[in-house]
């Protein structure tokens, strides 16, 4: 069992205890994109003299997340984002992000069908490579996997179309420590989700 599994188990235990005292629980599923520039490297991945450029981070990510509110303004939240494999210098790679947040709903900006939420927290990012040739993997920095600490800030707005059913556009900014496979540590993320609020009055 690695650090990621231990962290998820600890947080899950805390969340389970918190749910028992929650005033409202929100869950959502969506799609979005995350962006980071290429680091500009060219790699002789297979040792045959052919150079493969390292890509920018982009593509369609799947999001799953939620929040548990202990009152009308304060809660805790989680978001996981992952993307299917794409090419990285001749190999296939799969990035993912997981963040745990404090969540604040400004009371003055809240309306019956429009509820903004501000999130601030931390988490981790993983970049996993798929490969058949171990020698090729040694040529690509971060292969077979790299893991990074993440700082996170985000703004989302729940737009209720029914009493409990909502759409949630969101903008997030991730600071990923030492994100050397790409050209920047800053990763902006844009998403749209659909979700349901349990316990909403």
Domain annotation for the chain: domains and CATH numbers: 3-198 (2.40.160.20)
198-to-118, 131, 152, 170, 183 alpha-carbon distances in Å: 19, 43, 25, 20, 41
21 φ/ψ sector (left φ>0, alpha ψ -120 to 50, else beta)? alpha
The C-alpha angle 77, 80, 81, rounded to 5 degrees, equals: 140
Question: Phi first, then psi: what are they for 106, rounded to 5°?
Answer: -65, 120
- Alpha helices (runs of H) in the chain, residue ranges in sequence order: 3-19, 134-139
Neighbours of 67 (CB within 10 A): 25
Three-state DSSP class for residue 146: strand
pLDDT value for 110: 75
Neighbours of 133 (CB within 10 A): 13
The C-alpha angle 122, 27, 83, rounded to 5 degrees, equals: 60
Alpha carbon distance 181, 175 (integer Å): 14
pLDDT value for 22: 65
Question: pTM here?
Answer: 0.86
pLDDT value for 13: 40
Mean pLDDT by 10 residues, the chain (201 residues): 47 47 87 97 95 97 94 93 96 97 87 92 97 92 96 97 95 98 98 91 64
- In terms of Cα–Cα distance, which of 21, 28, 95 is closest to 58? 95
Alpha carbon distance 118, 153 (integer Å): 8
* CA pseudo-torsion sign 105, 99, 192, 166: negative
Is residue 161 within 8 A of residue 167, CB to CB? The reply is yes
């Amino acid at each position: 069992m690695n650090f990621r599994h231990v962290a998820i188990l600890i947080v899950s235990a805390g969340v389970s205890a918190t749910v028992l005292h929650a005033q409202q629980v929100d869950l959502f599923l969506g799609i979005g994109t995350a962006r980071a520039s290429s680091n500009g490297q060219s790699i002789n991945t297979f040792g045959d003299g052919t150079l493969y450029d390292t890509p920018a981070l982009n593509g369609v990510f799947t999001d799953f997340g939620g929040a548990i509110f202990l009152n009308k303004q304060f809660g805790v939240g989680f978001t996981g984002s992952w993307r299917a494999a794409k090419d990285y210098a001749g190999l296939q790679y799969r990035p993912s992000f997981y963040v745990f947040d404090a969540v604040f709903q400004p009371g003055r900006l809240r309306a019956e069908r429009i509820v903004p939420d501000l999130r601030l927290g931390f988490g981790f990012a993983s970049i996993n490579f798929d490969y058949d040739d171990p020698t090729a993997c040694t040529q690509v920095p971060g292969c077979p996997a790299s893991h990074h600490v993440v700082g996170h800030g985000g703004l989302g707005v729940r737009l209720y179309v029914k009493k409990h059913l909502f759409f949630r556009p969101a903008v997030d900014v991730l600071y990923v420590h030492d994100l050397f496979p790409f050209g920047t540590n800053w990763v902006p993320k844009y998403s749209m989700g659909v979700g349901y609020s349990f316990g909403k009055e």
